[in-house]
Amino acid sequence: MGAKRSSLSKRTRFAVFERDEFTCQYCGERPPLVVLHLDHIHPVSKGGEDTEENLVTSCVACNAGKSDRVLGDIRPRPDANLQFLSTQQEIAEARLYLEAKEQRDDLHRQIAVELLDVWDDHAKGWYKRPDAITVIGWITDFGASEVELAIKTASRRDKTAKLGGNDAMLRYVAGILKNRRNEA
């Protein structure tokens, strides 16, 4: 005959919940998605006691599903090593992203300098030069080759059409790029 079930103290309940990090040790769910209960690893109906060593945090669904079955000698809990490796992978991917972003940003700055040289070669000082931030924005949105092509196209067009104003070529390059985006 199994041991008599008694009411567990709030202190015992909290100690087990805290030990198990307020996480169901069967499925890994946490409040507020689930309501937590305590489960006897070795069921009371089969002689299990109300000790902290025999108690585990469980959600309502897992506790009901287990019922009074014995799962074995190994205490169920989420695989801490798997969680650790998953977190380490996230950290490594975040670091790689930051490294790649820094490299990309450096390359965009270098390309912007080169494209401003292309601008200077084609605008021949007739038109206001865009700032590097504008060129980097174009590179980010359209790619370096599209920006270079737009600069060259605008300089040829502007010389023949005699567009007016100090920033005419700047507006024309922006228009060419916008039209290419709309065509895509």
Does residue 153 sit within a domain?
A: yes
Same domain flag for 59 and 131: no
One DSSP character per residue, 76-114 reads: P---HHHHHHHHHHHHHHHHHHHHHHHHHHHHHHHHHHH
* pLDDT for 176: 93
Does residue 80 sit within a domain?
A: no
Give me Rg for the CA atoms of the chain: 33
Domain ranges, residue 21: 10-66
Number of domains the chain contains: 2
Place of tokens 């390359």: 107
* pLDDT for 1: 46
Angstrom distance (rounded) from CA 128 to CA 142: 21
* pLDDT for 130: 92
Same domain flag for 26 and 106: no
Does residue 1 sit within a domain?
A: no
- Crossing angle of helices 80-123 and 132-142, in 10° steps, is 120
pTM: 0.51
Q: What is the mean pLDDT of each run of 10 residues along the chain (184 residues)?
A: 68 90 88 89 84 88 76 56 78 93 96 95 82 95 95 76 68 90 80
* pLDDT for 69: 67
Does residue 133 sit within a domain?
A: yes
